[in-house]
Chain A
Amino acid sequence: MTTLATGGRWKLRRPPDAVVLPIVVLLLLTAVAASIAVGSRALTFDELFAALTAPTGTETDLIVRDVRLPRTFIGIAAGSALAVAGVIMQTLTRNPLAEPGLLGVNAGASFAVAIAIVVLRVGDFGATMWFAFLGAALASALVAVIGGVGRGASIGRLTLTGVAIGAVLSAATAALSLIDPHAYQSLRLWGAGALGGRSFDAAVLTLLVVAVGLVLVVLIAPGLGLLALGEDTARALGGQVGAARLGGFLAIVVLCGAATAAAGPIAFVGLLVPHALRAVFGPDTRRLLIYSALAGPILLLGADVLCGVLIAPRSIPVGVMTAFLGAPVLVALVLSRRVQAEGAPS
C-alpha cells in the first residue's frame, strides 16, 4: 500500500490487481508448499517428490499423502471459507466484528457434534463432520428465522439473536461435555481447532463443499457489493437486497459449516483477513472476496506450519496460533486506522 501527499492530506493509492494478484498467488503457493514440505519429520526433496508423484507405500509416502496432504487441503478449504464468510458476514451485518461465531455457526456445529458423541455415540470423524455441518446450518437457520424475518427485522436484531443462540448452544454443549467425560474428551480434541487427523477423503470432501460455497459467492457477489453501500442505496440502485441477503446467508452456512466441521472452531481468520485486506484494498467487496479466498489459506497454512516448528516435535493447536497471530495484527490495524483518522500518514 502506498500513500500520496495531496494538498497537505494523505490519500491512499490502491495497488493494482496486476501487481498484487500474482504476489498473493505466489504467497499461497509458497504456503501450500511449506505445508506439505515442513513437518515434525524432516523429509528430503526427493522423498517429497516421490511421495507426490510415485508413492510406493513407504513411511515417508504415508506421511506426505495421509498426513500432510489432508492437512494442507483442509487448510486451503477452511482458510478460504472462513475468510470469505467473514467478508460476507461483515457486509451483511454491517458489523466490523462479525465472524463465523456471530451467527451461531460455531456453537451450532459444536452442539451437534456433542449430540452425536453423547447421545448417538458416534465416534467416527467422518460422521461427526456431517453433524457439525448440519448443526451449523440449523443454528444459522434458527438465527435467521428468529432474528432476520418478520416485522422489526434488522441487522442488529439478527446479530443479537446470533449471539444469544450461540451462547445458549455453547452452554448446552458445555453441559453435555460435563455430563459425559467421553464427550468431553472428543469435544476437547475437536474444539481445539486443528487441521490434522482428517482423512484424505474428508479433506477432499471439505474442498468440494467449500468450492460449492465459493461458486455461490461468485453468483451473489454483485448483490453483496451493492449491499455494502447500505440497504437503501442498494435498493435505489436496483439491487435485489433480499436475494443477496439470502444468498449471502446460504453461503455463510455452507462455508462456515464445512470449515468448522473439518477443522473445528478456528478463531480470527474470518475476522482478521477481511480487515487486513480492507486496509490494503479499501471497501471494494469484489476484491475483498477474491483476495480473502486466497489470503485465508495463506494465514491458516502459515499458522499451521508455525505450530509444527515452534516447539517441534510437539505442536500447538492451530486455533491457538491464529489467535496469537491475529490479535496483535488486529490491534495494529485498529491503531493504524486511528492514526489515519487523526490525519497522520499511514
Chain B
Amino acid sequence: MRPSPRLRAALAAAVIAPLVLAATACAPDADSTSDGGAAGADTIIVDSVYGEVTVPAAPERVAAISYDTPWQVMSLDLPVVAAIDYTQWIDGYTEDQQAYIADAAKVGSYGEVNFEALAGAAPDVIVGDAYEVDEATFTRLSEIAPTVIVGGDERGDWQSITEDLATALGAHDTWEEAKASYEARRDEVKEQYADVIAANTWANFSLGNEAGQFSIQLPSGSTGNLIVNEMGLAYGDGIPLDTDDGAGYVSLPLEQIGTVLDGVTVGLTYENPDGTKMPAIQDVIDSSLFQQLEIAKTERVYGLVSNVTDYRTAEEWIDELTAKVLEPLSQ
C-alpha cells in the first residue's frame, strides 16, 4: 500500500529537519541558462535550494531520489534510471507508474539514499526534494553527479517544484503542456460544477499523529493546495488555514472534530485502491463524535485514491473528484 500523504509527511518530518529550507529555496532560473563558459555548450546552470548547479542541458540518465520525485519526473515524460525502493508500496501505484520504475535501479529506501547503488546507476543528473535531502546529503550526492534539489514555497507547492524540475531537466515545454492541460480541465470542472462547489463547504481529513487524533489537510499541503487554491473549494469555517510548522497538515484531538468540521457539508479523505480505508482513518470515521457530524449523517464522506504530486496527478485527482463526488452531488 502506498503511504498516504499524511504518512509521508510524518516520515518526512522524522527523517529531515530543515523546513526552513523551503523558505530559502529559489526556482531554477531559465534566464541563468549558460551556453558556454566553464560549463560548456551542452550544459546549463540552474539555481536550486543549495545554490547554482551546472547540469546537462539534455540529461539522459536521471536519478530521482525523493519520494514524489520519480512521479514528478514521469509527468515530464522523462525516464528515470534510479529511484528509491517502492516495492513495499507498489500495489498502491497505477500500472503506468509501476512500469515507469520497473527497470530503475533501487538506490535506497525512503529518506535513506544508498550512495553506492546510486553511483552504480551512473546518473548524469540527480534530482530530489529539499524536504528529504539536507545539505550534507546534497554534498555527497553532488560527488556522484550534478544534483538539483528543489523545494518550492512549501510542502504542497507542487506547481513550483515541478517547474523547477522541468527547468533543471530541460523539459519545460512538457511541463507547460501538462500545466495547460490541467488548467483547462480544472477550469472546465469548476465551471461545470460551479453550483455544487459553491453550495458546499469542504474538508480533507485523515488520520492523526497519535491514536485519538485526526488531521486536516491545510492549503499548504499538496491536496489542500489543490482543493482550496486551485479548485476554489471553500473550507469550513472551523478549519485552520495554516500553521507555522510547514507540514501541510495539522493533527488535532478527536474532541475538536465537531468544532473543526462544523458546517462542513462534504468530507474528503484518502482510501486505498481497493476501496478500503486505512484503519486509523476508519477509526476516526467510526468514532461517535464523527458520526454526529452532518457529513456522516448525510453520508457525504468520500475517499479518493489519487495522490497529488504534479499537474498530471492533480488532473487525475480532479477527474476522480468529478466522478466520485461532484457528479453525484449534482444529481
B213 sits at the interface (CB 8 A): yes
Q: Which residues of B contact A123 (CB under 8 A)?
A: 279, 282
CB distance from B58 to the nearest CB of A (A): 35
Residues of B participating in the A interface, judged by any CB pair closer than 8 Å: 1-3, 7, 10, 88-89, 109, 207, 209-213, 250-256, 258-259, 278-280, 282-283, 287-289, 292
- List of B residues within 8 angstroms of A68 by Cβ: 255
Separation of A308 and B288 alpha carbons in the complex (Å): 20
Please name 16 further chain A to chain B contacts, defined as beta carbons within 8 Å, in addition to the given A185-B207, A314-B250, sorted by A numbering.
A40-B252, A40-B253, A62-B289, A125-B211, A179-B88, A180-B88, A181-B88, A184-B7, A186-B279, A196-B211, A196-B212, A196-B253, A197-B210, A197-B211, A197-B213, A313-B253
Per the bound structure, the CA–CA distance linking A264 and B258 in Å amounts to 27
Given the known interface contacts A59-B292, A185-B278, the answer about A196 and B213 at a Cβ–Cβ threshold of 8 Å is yes
Contacts of B256 in A (CB 8 A): 40-41, 313
Asked if A314 and B251 make an inter-chain contact with CB atoms under 8 angstroms apart, the answer reads yes
A102: interface (CB < 8 Å): no
| Distance A178 CA – B111 CA, assembled complex (angstroms) | 12
Residue among B7, B252, B255, B279 with the highest chain A CB neighbour number at 10 A = B255
1/0 per residue, CB under 8 A from B, across A284-318: the answer is 00000000000000000000000010000111010
Beta-carbon nearest neighbor of A319 in chain B: B210
Complex contacts, A39 vs chain B, CB 8 Å:
253, 255
Number of interface residues of A (CB under 8 A): 37
Query: CB-nearest residue of chain A relative to B245?
Result: A314
Q: Is the CB of A315 within 8 A of B213?
A: yes
Please determine whether A67 and B283 come into contact, CB atoms closer than 8 angstroms: no
Q: Identify which of B3, B207, B253, B279 gathers the most chain A CB atoms within 10 Å of its CB.
A: B253
- The smallest beta-carbon distance between B181 and chain A, in angstroms, is 31
Q: Does A188 contact B (CB under 8 A)?
A: yes
Cross-interface CB contact of B287 among A66, A188, A189, cutoff 8 Å: A66
| Candidates B2, B3, B255, B282; contact of A40 at CB < 8 Å | B255
A67 touching B292, Cβ below 8 Å:
no
The answer to the question of A46 belonging to the interface, with a C-beta cut-off of 8 Å to chain B, is no
* Residues B292 and A62 in contact, CB atoms below 8 Å apart: yes
A194 beta carbon closer than 8 Å to chain B: yes
Q: Bound state CA distance, A314 and B288, in angstroms?
A: 20
**Are B288 and A196 touching (Cβ within 8 A)?**
no
Asked, given contacts A196-B213, A197-B283, A314-B252, whether A181 binds B289 with beta carbons under 8 Å apart, the answer is no
> Do B255 and A317 have beta carbons less than 8 Å apart?
no
A144-202 CB contacts (< 8 Å) to partner B: 178-182, 184-186, 188-190, 192, 194-198
Please give me the residue from chain B that is nearest to A41 by CB atom: B255
Candidates B2, B251, B280, B292; contact of A186 at CB < 8 Å: B280
Q: Does A275 contact B (CB under 8 A)?
A: no
Q: Are B289 and A194 in contact (CB under 8 A)?
A: no
26 pairs across A/B with beta carbons < 8 Å?
A39-B253, A40-B255, A59-B258, A59-B289, A62-B288, A62-B292, A63-B289, A67-B289, A123-B279, A124-B279, A181-B89, A182-B278, A185-B7, A185-B280, A192-B209, A194-B210, A195-B212, A196-B254, A197-B283, A198-B211, A198-B212, A313-B253, A314-B250, A314-B251, A317-B209, A317-B210
Is A71 an interface residue when CB atoms closer than 8 A count as contact? yes
CA distance A189 to B267 in the complex (A): 23
Docked pose: A41 CA to B259 CA in angstroms: 8
- From B10, B109, B212, B289, residue with most partner A Cβ within 10 Å: B212
A182 touches which of B1, B109, B210, B211 (Cβ 8 Å): B1
Do B210 and A192 have beta carbons less than 8 Å apart? yes
Q: Within 8 Å CB of A41, what residues of B?
A: 255-256, 258-259
**Cα–Cα, bound, A315→B253 (Å):** 7
**Most chain-B Cβ atoms within 10 A of its Cβ — which of A40, A195, A197?**
A197
Within 8 Å by CB of A194, from B212, B259, B282, B287, lies: B212
Chain B residues within 8 Å of A180, by CB: 88
Bound Cα distance A39, B251 (Å)? 15
CA of A198 to CA of B213 in the docked complex: distance in angstroms?
11
A257 CB, nearest partner CB in chain B, Å: 18
Residue of A at shortest CB range from B287?
A66
Query: Chain B residues near A179 (CB, 8 Å)?
Result: 88
